[in-house]
Amino acid sequence: MRRRLLQVLLPLLALLVVGISVPAATAIAERHTGELVADRINDASRLSVAAFAALSGGAGIEGGIERLAAELDDYAELYDTGVWLVDRDRELLHAAGAGTPPLPAGADGALDQVLAGQSPEVARTVWPWQTAGELIVAPVGRDSQVVAALVLDVPVTAVRHATLLDWGVLALALLVPLGAAVALVGPTTRWLLRPVHALESTAAEVASGDLEARAAADTGPPELRTLGRSFNTMVDAVRTTVERQQAFLGDAAHQLRNPVASLRLSVENLEAHVDRRDPEARATYADAIDDLDRMSGVIDGMLAATRFQNRPSRETPAGEALEPGRAGWLARCAEAGLEAEVVVADPGTRIVEPTGGLVACVDELVANAVRLSGGTRVLVRAGRGGAGAYRVEVVDDGRGLDAQEREAATRRFWRSPRVQNVAGTGLGLTILGQVSADAGGRLELAETPGGGLTATLVLRVV
């Protein structure tokens, strides 16, 4: 988000700098050019007056021209300026300094205007990258009587340097605040967005089942602090509701377990009083026992559901998550007379564990394989399985399930007709599917090559 903010702010700041700097730089160049032109026009006016006096001096004209020439030479040397004095026929009367024939380029048009009694405009702006001198043409005469023209080729080096210096000051005046603004963008955006990131992280923790997580509500702008406090209040309400529901579910299951067990014993005690010659009586007795067994299974399923809520999902290395269950899985299989093997590849891969912990989930799958598969071997195999996924497989070589049974196996209370007499609730796979999905994964059931069932927990890689 900080990068996106910079991508928006930097172009806006650049446009602001351009919008300020271009007019300001133009005004600076025009001001220095105007000062130079005004200065030299005054000089040209003074020299033109001296030239008119010298050219209209009657018998002393030769002496006046000599004094004028000396004055023009001194001016050209002092200001490093080319000076030309031409008469109405454009005959060169005198050239000083760099003012050697021919006249500078562009002087013809200005001379036409001056000799016709008009004043040429000086419209050019001197820019630092231009080296051509500023051309000033002044008439020599009085009123409309123009007897000659004075041409000055004014060097612009001083103007260029002064303009560059002022531009440098302007650049510093703009770039220093701009740099400070850019430097402050990072800390400011971090201060603004830190509560947002914290809130996002806390929301992810709550979604994973950690109802103890709370957002920081003491940093950032007041609006975000208020949002953080509101979020924490909401999580408190959700946590209270969930805890009450879980407590009710656990308490109800515990409270029902003893009466159901007592009722089953009472029904079993009636077996001696059932007329064995009456088929209907025996069937009724068997149905009652089956119903009580199903009730016990439902209660056990309720307790299993609360067991999976004991710990929220978390991010952890796969090997660290699986290792605590290795000994228990091997022992359970050995007690049932089954061969067992646990193979964990890529143990350093960080995964998102389902709610209740990965060991509890694999425990359920191993227990199903031991109780229900009817096979001789159980393999627990884990490793990377494609981009962004880690697979934990429990493979058996037993009777397995057909395609329709695999599709129905994750439904609540579903059990295969072949294992109706085996203890179980029909809730285990349903719960596993739910907690896996909540952690961004899924539960897959597939046929084992050669026979059997492969139950796979696909977990999200961090």
The pLDDT value given to residue 60: 44
Per-residue pLDDT tens over the stretch 107-123? 777 787 777 777 666 65
Q: What is the pLDDT of residue 103?
A: 77
**48 and 132 in a common domain:** yes
Contact 410, 427 (CB under 8 A): no
Same domain, 86 and 130: yes
Each residue of 410-434: pLDDT tens digit? 777 676 666 655 555 566 788 888 8
Q: Is residue 173 part of a domain?
A: no
Indicate if 349 and 427 belong to the same structural domain.
yes
Domain contains 181:
no
Given pLDDT bands bounded at 50, 70 and 90, which one contains residue 391? very high
- Structure-token match 């309720």, residue found: 302
- Whether residue 388 sits in one domain with residue 252: no
Lowest mean pLDDT among 4-18, 42-56, 123-137, 141-155: 4-18
Report the pLDDT value the prediction gives residue 377, as an integer from 0 to 100. Answer: 92
Q: What is the pTM assigned to this prediction?
A: 0.46
Contact 217, 199 (CB under 8 A): no
What's 355's domain CATH number?
3.30.565.10
Instruction: Note whether residue 175 is domain-resident.
Output: no
From 289, 307, 325, the end of a domain falls on 307
> pLDDT at residue 195 above 60?
yes
Q: How would residue 97 be classed by pLDDT, with cut points 50, 70 and 90?
A: confident
Full residue range of the structural domain in which residue 131 is found: 2-161
pLDDT of residue 456: 92
Q: Is the pLDDT of residue 96 over 80?
A: yes
Residues 373 and 302 in one domain: no
Q: What is the pLDDT of residues 133-166, one digit of tens each?
A: 788 888 888 766 788 888 888 888 888 888 888 8
Please report whether residue 46 resides in a domain: yes
Percent of the chain with pLDDT over 90: 8
Q: What is the CATH number of the domain that holds 86?
A: 3.30.450.20
Do 72 and 146 lie in a common domain? Answer: yes
What whole-number distance in Å separates Cα of residue 292 and Cα of residue 197? Answer: 52
255 plus 326 within the same structural domain: no
Residue 293 in any domain: the answer is yes
pLDDT, residue 220, reads 74
CA distance 87 to 65: 13
Say if CB 385 and CB 442 are below 8 A apart.
no
Q: In this structure, are residues 173 and 200 in contact, taking their beta carbons and an 8 Å threshold?
A: no
Do 384 and 356 fall within a single domain? Answer: yes
Helix (H, G, I), strand (E, B) or coil at 221: coil
Q: Is residue 65 part of a domain?
A: yes
Residue 298 lies in a domain: yes
Say if residue 231's pLDDT is above 80: yes
pLDDT at 298 over 50: yes
Residue 336: strand, helix, or coil: coil
Q: Are residues 152 and 9 located together in one domain of the fold?
A: yes
Residues 6+ apart with CB under 8 A from 53: 64
> The domain spanning residue 303 has which CATH number?
1.10.287.130
Say which DSSP state 262 is in: H
What is the number of structural domains in the chain?
Answer: 3
Residues 53 and 135 in one domain: yes
Considering the domain boundaries, does residue 171 fall inside one? no
Mean pLDDT of the chain: 79
Write down the pLDDT at residue 388.
82
- What are the tokens at 261? 């067990």
- If you average pLDDT over each of 121-130, 169-178, 319-328, which comes out highest? 319-328
Residue 379: pLDDT over 90: yes
In angstroms, what is the C-alpha Rg of the chain? 49
pLDDT of residue 230: 86
Average pLDDT of 292-301?
Answer: 70
Does 393 lie in the same domain as 300? Answer: no
Largest CA distance in the chain: 169
- Of 257, 272, 307, the position where a domain reaches its end is 307
* Residue 368 and residue 290 share a domain: no
**Beta partners for 339?**
377
Q: How far apart are CA 362 and CA 380, in angstroms?
A: 9
Whole-angstrom distance between the N-terminal and C-terminal Cα of the chain?
Answer: 21
Which of 290, 307, 324 represents a domain boundary (last residue)?
A: 307
CB-based contact 75:96 (threshold 8 Å):
yes
